[in-house]
Amino acid sequence: MSKWIPDPRGYANERLVDLPWGYWLRKDPDAKGLVDENGEVWESLRHYLWHVRLSMGSGSNLDLACEQLLAVLHAASNRRVTREEAVHEFFFEVWRESWHYLAWLEGQDLTEGGEVTVEGRAILRMLAATRGRDVADLAPLDFPTLHPWNGLDHGTTRAQREQVMAELEAMGRALRYRFVREPIADRPAIKLIGSEMGHNIPLTRVLWTLTFVDDYARDRQFAWIAHRLDRWQSWGELAAEHGARALSEHLLLLKFAHEPIDGV
């Protein structure tokens, strides 16, 4: 579903919006780096983004900072991320850091009203393309989602829901950690599966499960989980390192944080 994307800096008037941010730099073997339009040489696109576009200093771990920026933009590009959800998911329950970071994104014109801008999406594509080989899996940048409309069924038919969720399950097969709808003792259930787990003999393991009274309840929960496909890697790591209970508690906090606040 297409939607209006703000472009406060007029990025679309100067650049090709479908290409990753920084595509205009050129590779110069003699300069041993990337050369910008002013003739300055940069070690990488990430250095150029961080120091020139974002005007940030060199005191922080650049790759770690870029991975966090990627994670937040990735989530915001696919759904509305509430402030409370962002606190629990990205900022280790530190409210002040969350408010400052989200305000910084707005001030940098990478988001506007919670939506990722045209330039923000270009930066997102660049950051995704410049990740190291040893980093965790990244979910597809554009994946199908079920957006709520009206009524108990959100205006979708069961066939439409099944099609979207089947596509998401198919996308998840490429990830190391993936959620699937598989029965447990003839009861509808959702499982979190981790691939290549263990040092001596890497095996596929079930890390977390949840059963339901019927298919409809299971699919409602799976739709919520699938809407956050970009977080499956992080959730899988949480379950693998701290156990199924830790993931259950985290998901409960996120589900609660996603609910509207009374009177707001």
- The answer to whether residue 3 scores a pLDDT higher than 50 is no
Average pLDDT score, the chain: 84
- The Cα 198–Cα 210 span in angstroms is 23
Q: pLDDT for 115-152, tens place per residue?
A: 899 999 999 999 999 988 777 666 666 655 555 444 44
pTM (global) more than 0.85: no
pLDDT of 95 reads: 83
Percent of the chain with pLDDT over 70: 86
pLDDT of 258 reads: 66
Q: What would the 3-class secondary structure string for the chain be?
A: CCCCCCCCCCHHHHCCCCCCCCCCCEEECCCCEEECCCCCEECCHHHHHHHHHCCCCCCCCHHHHHHHHHHHHHHHHHCCCCHHHHHHHHCCCCHHHHHHHHHHHHHCCCEECCEECHHHHHHHHHHHHCCCCCCCCCCCCCCCCCCCCCCCCCCCCHHHHHHHHHHHHHHHCCCCEEEEECCECCECEEEEEEEEECCCCCEEEEEEEEECCCHHHHHHHHHHHHCCHHHHHHHHHHHHHHCHHHHHHHHHHHHHHCCCCCCC
Amino acid found at 142? D
pLDDT of 263 reads: 44
Q: Provide the greatest CA pair distance for the chain.
A: 66
Q: Would strands 115-116 and 33-35 be described as parallel, antiparallel, or unpaired?
A: unpaired
Per the CB < 8 A criterion, the answer to whether 119 and 9 are in contact is: yes
Q: pLDDT for 48-64, tens place per residue?
A: 999 999 999 876 689 88
pLDDT of 208 reads: 97
pLDDT of 178 reads: 92
- The Cα 58–Cα 80 span in angstroms is 31
* More confident position, 232 or 258: 232
Virtual torsion, Cα 113, 119, 122, 123, nearest 10 deg? -80
- The Cα 145–Cα 79 span in angstroms is 9
Structure confidence at residue 196 as a pLDDT band (50, 70, 90): confident
CB atoms < 10 A from the CB of 206, how many? 15
